[in-house]
Chains A and B, each alone.
Chain A
């Protein structure tokens, strides 16, 4: 079908590089690999630019390909026996202090302890602010599966945050939120 939208590759890179890089970084935990994945995703976009219908489609396409490329990269590394999820600030110098609170920094680390599908669902939910339906569409998974990943992932993260961040629980700051288990 013909479409009027004229994609500008450089503009798309400017607009979405942070999104693609962040998705890959949070999925893999490796800055170098995340950068490689981001480059691959944009080069793939360049090859498929003719099929992109509009700006929203470009964004959807980039999210989808970034997630699948990240999963593939992790699978490849796992096959080679490399434990990929390294603590970001230890290896790549991402300062914990940059985060608004230590809980934010810790949450990002705790994300690594979740399974890949749970991590993917939570990243799309909280980084990209997608609804479960949009996540299901992006990951090409049934809605019920996505909802289950979100619920279980969030529950696990709350539980782990609770045990790792006792100082916050002691302050009772998140006592209500950490125990109710809602999405």
Chain B
């Protein structure tokens, strides 16, 4: 190492950090931590709301489908009742006609 390089080492010695650097840094760190925790809670709350909305939507769709099923079943039952009633009348008519031919 020559004189110039020794001079370089001397010139490039570490400078002391500004006196307030650590204090400012620790303040920023505290702020960031509380900011982070606020956002963590906010994200958690948003996820819960989103989950609730999705679950509600899913449940609402299920209820709607069940209602439609009920309505369809009702319609089938009504159709069956009408058919049964018609068949009964037809049966009664056939029975009375059979009785008439026997007499």
A residues near B (Cβ < 8 Å) are 9-10, 13-14, 17-22, 25-26, 31, 35, 38-39, 42-43, 46, 94, 99-101, 103-105, 107-108, 122-123, 126-127, 129, 154, 157-158, 161, 173-174, 176-178, 180, 182-183
Contact = CB atoms under 8 A, between A and B. Distances in A.
A158 B5 CA distance: 10
A101 B14 contact: no
Given A46-B29, A178-B4, A18 B15 contact: yes
A99 B17 contact: no
A121 to B, nearest CB: 12
Given A13-B25, A21-B21, A174-B7, A180 B2 contact: yes
Contacts of A108: 11-12
Given A26-B12, A127-B12, A182-B2, A21 B17 contact: yes
19 contacts: A10-B26, A14-B22, A17-B21, A20-B17, A25-B15, A35-B18, A35-B21, A38-B17, A43-B29, A94-B15, A101-B10, A103-B7, A104-B11, A107-B12, A122-B12, A126-B8, A157-B8, A176-B3, A177-B2
Nearest to B7: A103
B97 interface: no
B100 interface: no
B63 to A, nearest CB: 46
Contacts of B26: 10, 13
Nearest to A98: B15
A18 B17 contact: yes
Contacts of B2: 174, 176-177, 180, 182
B3 A99 contact: no
Contacts of A21: 15-18, 21
A148 to B, nearest CB: 18
B14 A19 contact: yes
